[in-house]
A and B are shown apart, each in its own frame.
Chain A
């Protein structure tokens, strides 16, 4: 986008003064006058800008914020309808899906038995598991990250293990969880814990390592104790890094829970998707996909908010 700004340059107005007095007075006169009017703004501005139409700016902003994404949305709808018409009619039409969505969201919290609950409950159960696993990961991961960042020996000892386990799909841990806990819920929480802990550990450790030596020298000159150093320097200095780790792990955790629940069953949005697949209720699955995405956005923005609140560089 290019902006064109037209400048209307008015030539400076030069007023001639009649030369009746002596040459010296002639020179001094304007100087004194200038001193008198110094503080007043110039009568006419040397530059004038054509007014920028606010309505036009707003229209442009609306175009960008609504019309462009809207166009892509319509395109996706078109492809969707094409798939329905030409490839497989098992994929329901957008209209049928919308009707299903209205039905589902009309009664989000119904309970018709232990295995038949509204989609609101499904999401809440999943969120509960994610938050439990995530909280555990934060509680364990932050201290471990701190130790790894603060001590070279601990770093040396733990880093290879972290590097090996970090790229492993968290679902690979599910059988281990089922064996150890002999129950579905703790196993799913365990998988979320494993998912969430690596970004927390790695970012906390990096945050501690990134603390400038100067801050620690300040602490030494002030003779701060170990606890004071932790509370007044290490934690605030590392907090932005920790929050980055938490944001990363929370969004991955929300993705992983859907897969984990498909395998464990029970109440939860993941198993809901699987269940509807078994019932060949594809419209419900599409509605669930949209809902999973929306919840993901909400989680992400909550973490962004927390991050902005605690990041001293952006306050």
Chain B
């Protein structure tokens, strides 16, 4: 049995025009320490998959097993990095991470330990210098770093990232991708990341899950990215293997699963 098991998940939403089948028979097995990217066109239900794993949304049929235990409600063992950071704007950067640390380790660790752990996680994302700032006073990329620190601080079994860099400009995105690769190399997190960026998917992941278009979206193909780590963006740019993987994903997205509106 794999570490994280998404087992034949169907998600159906009731609508005025009858049932809308968002996901059908989504099946995915993820090993501990794996970095999985889910890619697909917008509206294909990528985020729905992540929300089911997070426990924010209940599967209509099927379910999710983490270490052989069914999960059906949200919890810090499946920390989420939201697309638009969702830091609490009335708390400082430090307090935004600390609230998570207090909630998860409030009973098991002393105050000093929790303080150190908060700072440690801010350090991981290079944000300890802005610990006392309010989210309104830092840039979008910095906010997302803090969002990642907050998720990491929960020491999750699975780190869920919902298009974490989608709202950032290309340069900032590249910086954050580097940070995520560094952290993953150091901590060996199990990561499930939603993205619509082909380069990001190939650069970061061990396997890329390509989803078909909705309704009734499901796993179309799974591509194993067999590139040695640490990976370097510049070196990979001319790497034939990298470009092959990239082309595979592009072919899936633009030949086999053309956007419905573009067809």
Chain A interface (Cβ < 8 Å from any Cβ of B): 212, 214-215, 217-218, 220-224, 232-233, 236-237, 239, 312-313, 315
Would you call B89 and A313 a contact (CB within 8 A)?
yes
Would you call A215 and B86 a contact (CB within 8 A)?
yes
Would you call B54 and A233 a contact (CB within 8 A)?
no
Question: Known pairs A237-B88, A312-B90. 11 more at Cβ < 8 A?
Answer: A215-B88, A217-B74, A217-B80, A220-B73, A221-B78, A221-B154, A222-B76, A223-B76, A233-B88, A312-B89, A313-B136
Would you call B86 and A223 a contact (CB within 8 A)?
no
Bound complex: CA of A313 vs CA of B88, how far in Å? 11
Verify if B107 is at the interface (C-beta below 8 Å from A): no
Given A223-B75, A223-B76, A236-B90, residue A312 in contact with residue B82 (CB < 8 A): no
Bound complex: CA of A127 vs CA of B86, how far in Å? 42
Verify if B127 is at the interface (C-beta below 8 Å from A): no
For residue B100, which residue of chain A has the nearest CB? Answer: A222
**What secondary structure prevails in chain B residues at the interface with A?**
loop
Among A221, A224, A232, A236, the most chain B Cβ lie within 10 Å of the Cβ of A221
Would you call A222 and B89 a contact (CB within 8 A)?
no
Verify if B229 is at the interface (C-beta below 8 Å from A): no
- Chain B nearest CB: distance from A214 CB in Å? 4
Would you call B134 and A315 a contact (CB within 8 A)?
yes
The residues of A that contact B74 with a CB separation of less than 8 Å are: 217, 220-221, 223
The residues of A that contact B73 with a CB separation of less than 8 Å are: 220
Would you call A214 and B134 a contact (CB within 8 A)?
no
The residues of B that contact A224 with a CB separation of less than 8 Å are: 103
Verify if B185 is at the interface (C-beta below 8 Å from A): no
The residues of A that contact B78 with a CB separation of less than 8 Å are: 221
Query: Quick one: CB contact mask for B76-92 with A, threshold 8 Å, 1 for yes?
Result: 10111010101011100
Would you call A214 and B99 a contact (CB within 8 A)?
no
Would you call B88 and A217 a contact (CB within 8 A)?
no
The residues of A that contact B90 with a CB separation of less than 8 Å are: 236-237, 239, 312
- Chain A nearest CB: distance from B246 CB in Å? 32
- Chain B nearest CB: distance from A311 CB in Å? 9
Would you call A221 and B75 a contact (CB within 8 A)?
yes
A-B contacts, 13 listed (Cβ < 8 Å): A215-B88, A217-B74, A218-B86, A220-B56, A220-B73, A221-B75, A221-B79, A222-B104, A223-B103, A312-B90, A312-B134, A312-B136, A315-B136
Q: Choose from B75, B88, B136 the contact partner of A218 (Cβ within 8 Å).
A: B88
The residues of B that contact A313 with a CB separation of less than 8 Å are: 89, 136
Query: Quick one: CB contact mask for B135-154 with A, threshold 8 Å, 1 for yes?
Result: 01000000000000000001
The residues of A that contact B99 with a CB separation of less than 8 Å are: 222, 232
Among B75, B88, B136, the most chain A Cβ lie within 10 Å of the Cβ of B88
Q: Choose from A212, A217, A223, A237 the contact partner of B56 (Cβ within 8 Å).
A: A217
The residues of A that contact B79 with a CB separation of less than 8 Å are: 221
Bound complex: CA of A313 vs CA of B89, how far in Å? 7
Bound complex: CA of A217 vs CA of B76, how far in Å? 11
For residue A312, which residue of chain B has the nearest CB? Answer: B90
The residues of B that contact A237 with a CB separation of less than 8 Å are: 88, 90
Would you call A222 and B88 a contact (CB within 8 A)?
no
Bound complex: CA of A237 vs CA of B78, how far in Å? 25
The residues of B that contact A212 with a CB separation of less than 8 Å are: 86
- Chain A nearest CB: distance from B134 CB in Å? 6
Bound complex: CA of A223 vs CA of B55, how far in Å? 11
Bound complex: CA of A312 vs CA of B134, how far in Å? 8
- Chain A nearest CB: distance from B261 CB in Å? 26
For residue A315, which residue of chain B has the nearest CB? Answer: B134
For residue A222, which residue of chain B has the nearest CB? Answer: B103
- Chain B nearest CB: distance from A221 CB in Å? 5
Q: Choose from A217, A236, A239 the contact partner of B82 (Cβ within 8 Å).
A: A217
Bound complex: CA of A223 vs CA of B77, how far in Å? 11
The residues of A that contact B136 with a CB separation of less than 8 Å are: 312-313, 315
